[in-house]
A and B are shown apart, each in its own frame.
Chain A
Amino acid sequence: MRIYAVFVYLFLYAPLAVIALFSFSAGRSASDFHGFSLQWYATAAGNRLVIEALLNSLLVAFVSSAIATLFGTAAALMLPRVKPAFRMVFDALTYVAIMVPGIVIGISTLIALATTFNFLNPLIAGDAPGAPPLGFGFGSLICAHSLFAMALVIVIVKARLSGMDRSLVEASMDLYADPWGTFRQVTLPQLMPAVIAGFLLSFTFSLDDYVIASFVAGSRVTLPIYVFASIRRGVTPEINAIGTTVMVFSLAMLVVAQVLLRRQARKPAAA
C-alpha cells in the first residue's frame, strides 16, 4: 500500500517536474534536454505578447476578485438579516453559479452580452455620436469572472460567519458600541482571514481560467488564452518557462490562502 502511495505521488508530481526541468533546457527543441540555461525565461520575458497577456490577466484577475470580494462579503454579512424565502433563493443561485459548468457560463454570458450590445449600441450611436460601441473585452471578462468568484467568496465568508462567536458581538452591543463600531472592531477582524482567502482563491481562479475567457474575451488576450494558442501551434520551451512561472506563482498564492484559512480555523479556540 505504501508502494502504491509513492507511485501516486510520483504520478502527481512527475509531470510538473518534467515541465520545470525542461524550462531550464538550453536546447531549442522542447523535448531534448541540452544543459542548464535560463534563456527561455529571458525569451518569455522579452516577448511583448506574453507580457501584454500577463498584464491583461493580472488586471482582470485583480478587478474581478476585488468586485467579488467586496460584494460577496457584503452579501454574506447581510444574508442572516433577510427574509428566509429570499435567503433560500439567494443560496440556491450561489450554488448554481458554482455548479453550472464553466463552459455554459461562458456561453450564456457571451449570448446575453451580445444581445445587450446589439440592443444598446444603436441607442448609444443615436444619443452620443462618436462614442465607441460596446463590445467584448476587459468589461465582459471582468463580469464573467466576478460571477463565479463572488459565489466562491460568499460560500467561504458564510462558512466563517457561521463558525464565529456571537457573544463578542453581543458584548460589544451591550457596551454601547454602535453597529458600525461593532462591525469594524469585532466582526471584521475575525472575518478578515476568510475575506483575504476568498480574494486569493478568486484571483487564482481568474488567472487560470481559459474556458470562460475564451468566450467573452473578444480580441483581448489573457495569459491562458495565449498559452492555449501556443500549445495548439506546438510545444515550445518558452511555454515551459511560462508554465513554471505560473505554477510557482499560484503555489505562492495557495500557501498564503492556506495559512490564512488555517489561522482562522484555530482562532475560535483562542477567542
Chain B
Amino acid sequence: MQGPRKWDWTAILLMSPSVAIFLGLLVMPILVVLVLSFGERAEAGGYQAAFTFAQYANLPARWAAFRNTLTLAPLGTVLCLLAAYPLAYYLAVKVSSRNRLLLLILVIVPFWTSFLIRTYAWIFILGGKGLPALLDMIGVPDVRFINTPFAVLVGIVYGYLPLMVFPIFVSLERLDKRLLEASDDLGASPARTFWQITLPLSAPGAVTGCMLVFILLMGEYLIPALLGGGKVFFIGNALVDLFLQSRNWPFGSAVAVSLVVIMLVTVTLYLRVTLRNRGMRDQALV
C-alpha cells in the first residue's frame, strides 16, 4: 500500500473497510473452521481445544452424504450439459440475430428469480397431487417422484440450466461461421462438420459451464432438502444437521473442510484433464 515515496493515505483509507471485511468475515472464519476441525467436541456440544485427526477419521460416519454428493453432482452436471447444449446451439446458430437476445434473456431470467420459490414449484408439480395424480388418471397408478434421486436431479437441471446455457452459447456464437462453410465446401457431411469443428470449438464454453454448475452443486443444500425429503441428502444437508441440530461443531468443521478440499481437487483435476490444450485454457477461463 506504499507509494514510491510516501504513503498513499487515500488508498489506505478507502481500502481498509473492504480489507477489514475480508479479514474479519472470510479469512478469520475459515481459519477458525480449520482449527475447530482438529479439535474435540466438548460435553455440552461445544468445542474443546485439542489437536487430533479424530474428526477426519470419523468422516465415514457421513459416508452416505459424500456418496450422494459425489454421484448426483457430476450426474446432474452432465444432465445439465446434455439439456443445455442443443438449446445453446439452437440460439447461437439457428435463430435470427433479431430474436436471439430476447430468447437468451428468457433463458437467464428464471435464474435470477428466487431459487427457493423455483425449487418449491417442483414440490408442487412432482408431489402427490401433481404429476402422479395426472399419471394416475391416464392409468399409471402409484408413481412416486418426490423424495427420490429423480426429483433431486430434475431440481438440479431446472435450477442450473441457465448457468450452463450461457457459456456454451458464448463460445458457439464466437465460432467463426466460415469454418463451417469451408468444411461443407470440402464435402464433409453436416454430422462430420459438427463433430470435427463445432463440438471441439465450443468445448471451452462447455468446460466453463460444467465447472460453474459442479462447484455450486457440491455445496447444494436447498434442492435435496426440499425435493429429496431427508432421503436423498448432500454434504450440505449433513452440515446443516451437524451445526444446527446435533451441534457437533468440530466434526461439522471437518466435513466442511473436506467438502472444500474435494471441490478444489476435483476442479483442478478436471481442468487439467479437459484443458490440456493451452489455447483452450485461455478461452475457458475468460
Contact = CB atoms under 8 A, between A and B. Distances in A.
Interface of A: 1-2, 4-5, 8-9, 11-16, 18-19, 22, 30-32, 70-72, 74-75, 77-79, 81-83, 86, 90, 93-94, 96-97, 99-105, 107-112, 115, 143-144, 146-147, 150, 154, 204, 207-208, 210-211, 214-215, 224, 227-228, 231, 235, 239, 243, 246-247, 250-251, 254, 258
Contacts of B10: 78, 81
B33 A81 contact: no
9 contacts: A18-B124, A99-B215, A100-B30, A101-B263, A239-B120, A243-B117, A247-B113, A251-B109, A254-B112
B90 A2 contact: yes
Interface in B75-125: 83, 86-87, 89-91, 94, 103, 105-107, 109-110, 112-118, 120-125
A111 B256 CA distance: 12
Contact of A101 (B1, B106, B219, B240): B219
Contact of A16 (B121, B129, B215, B222): B121
Given A103-B236, A210-B116, A235 B124 contact: yes
Contacts of A143: 25
Nearest to B36: A111
B186 to A, nearest CB: 24
B26 A251 contact: no
Contacts of B222: 210-211
A100 B117 contact: no
B118 A15 contact: yes
A101 B236 contact: yes
Given A93-B22, A101-B219, A104-B219, A250 B112 contact: yes
Interface string B118-156: 101111110101100000000000000000000000000
A212 B1 CA distance: 32
Nearest to A255: B109
Contacts of B33: 104, 107-108, 111-112
Contacts of A104: 33, 219, 239, 256, 259-260
A195 B219 CA distance: 29
A241 to B, nearest CB: 11
B204 interface: no
B199 interface: no
Number of contact residues on B: which range applies? 35 or more
Nearest to B243: A107
A14 to B, nearest CB: 8
Interface stretch (B11-19, B177-185, B276-284): B11-19
B118 A82 contact: no
B278 to A, nearest CB: 22
A1 B11 CA distance: 54
Nearest to A12: B110
A93 B1 contact: no
A16 B19 CA distance: 40
Top 4 nearest A-B pairs (CB, nearest first) are A101-B219, A108-B29, A15-B121, A112-B29
Contacts of B260: 100-101, 104
B1 A150 contact: no
A1 B90 contact: yes
Contacts of A71: 17-18, 21
A215 B162 CA distance: 28
B56 interface: no
Given A31-B129, A247-B113, 16 more contacts: A14-B125, A18-B124, A75-B14, A94-B22, A103-B256, A107-B33, A108-B256, A111-B33, A112-B32, A146-B21, A211-B236, A214-B244, A227-B117, A227-B120, A243-B114, A258-B105
A224 B256 CA distance: 23
A247 B14 CA distance: 36
Contacts of B252: 107
Instruction: Among B27, B124, B260, find the residue whose CB has the most chain A CB atoms closer than 10 A.
Output: B124
Instruction: Among A11, A99, A101, A150, find the residue whose CB has the most chain B CB atoms closer than 10 A.
Output: A101
Contacts of B172: none
A8 to B, nearest CB: 5
A189 B129 CA distance: 54
B165 to A, nearest CB: 9
A228 B17 contact: no
A16 B32 contact: no
A258 B117 CA distance: 22
A235 B8 CA distance: 57
B168 interface: no
A11 B21 contact: no
Contact of A147 (B25, B109, B218): B25
A124 to B, nearest CB: 18
A164 to B, nearest CB: 18
